[in-house]
Amino acid sequence: MPSSAFAPPAFADVLAAAARIAPHAHATPVLRMRSLDALAGCALHFKAEHLQRGGAFKFRGACNAVWSLDPAQATPGVVTHSSGNHGAALALAAGTRGIACHVVVPENAVATKLAAITASGATLHRCEATLAAREAACAAVQQRTGATLVHPYADARVIAGQGTAALELLNAGIGLDALVVPVGGGGLGAGTAIAIAGVSPSTRLFLAEPAGAADTAASLARGARVTDIVPETVCDGLRATLGAPNFDILRAAGAEAITVDDAETLAAMRLLWQRGKQLIEPSSATALAAVLQQRERFAGLRVGIVISGGNVDPHALYEASALLGTGA
């Protein structure tokens, strides 16, 4: 979706999304872990979106998009392409309105996430593991069914909905100096940027990104989107290319990307398991990994971290941990 054809959401849209999804989404807790504060050298406030419906923040954007549709748009259902969390979230959201949901999935998608999508009531449509194949398959489903496309991250309704996680965190009265979120396609980051501008403009936004899929860091450094990086990371939820509208929003917000390697991410994830007793997926752990990597930068600050999801495949994770020598 070219940014020239895109009307970015405003803070008022995030507020409207919060009201719209309130009957359906959880207001997730903010967790404190004192031992991790000591390790990081700062006060960490974890927004627990792995405890959201569907196990990820994605339900917020999907729910906002579904309930934004007028009755005529909603009747044929919705369609998207997704490697997992967004597809499951859209299926759940569609279920709250009693409409059909079609999800185009790449052939290399994580099995547990595919199971979550089907369990949520969606119809799966498989395709090759390329963006072009996903978009072509979505277009075919749209033409055949009349379903409305709800893009995983380059959709104003989705971005506004994702921003409600940060809205809740920023309104918790903490007075955050910094807020760190994982970045893949950029919907969460863009929504967070809009929420920060509306609630706490002095809070700095940081984007945690796998070193093996660092197109956002490269794009912000260059001042133009970099789209030719082939992702290679255990963080399956962060392999998407940064969306054009999200790049525009994040660049204007002065967001800064921090890249972390997979070993750092898995070590951070293990810390959250061991010390916080929180089961999260690798993509979520990038944010904590970024803070631990940049300890001096965050020293003494009040730092918010969005734990983006908890839909982890334990078998695949064990294999990845063994391969990287980090232990399971």
> Per the structure block, which two tokens stand in for 92?
């759940």
The residues near 164 (Cβ < 8 Å, ≥ 6 apart) are: 14, 17, 18, 21, 25, 60, 64, 191, 195
End-to-end CA distance of the chain: 39
Helix-, strand-, coil-residue percentages of the chain, each rounded to 5: 55, 15, 30
CA Rg value for the chain: 18
**HSE of 102 in the Cβ direction (CA atoms, 13 Å)?**
24
- Distance, in Å, from the CA atom of 189 to the CA atom of 229, rounded to the nearest integer, reads 19
- Distance, in Å, from the CA atom of 169 to the CA atom of 306, rounded to the nearest integer, reads 9
Query: Known catalytic residue: 58?
Result: yes
68, 82, 83, 321: the catalytic one is 83
Element spanning 306, H or E = strand 302-307
Query: Known catalytic residue: 68?
Result: no
Q: Which of 140-147's residues contact partners 24+ apart within 8 Å by CB, and which partners?
A: 141/79, 141/102, 141/104, 142/79, 145/76, 145/77, 145/79, 145/100, 145/102, 146/76, 146/77, 147/76, 147/77, 147/78, 147/79, 147/100, 147/102
47, 58, 113, 200: the catalytic one is 58
- Which of the residues are catalytic? 58, 83
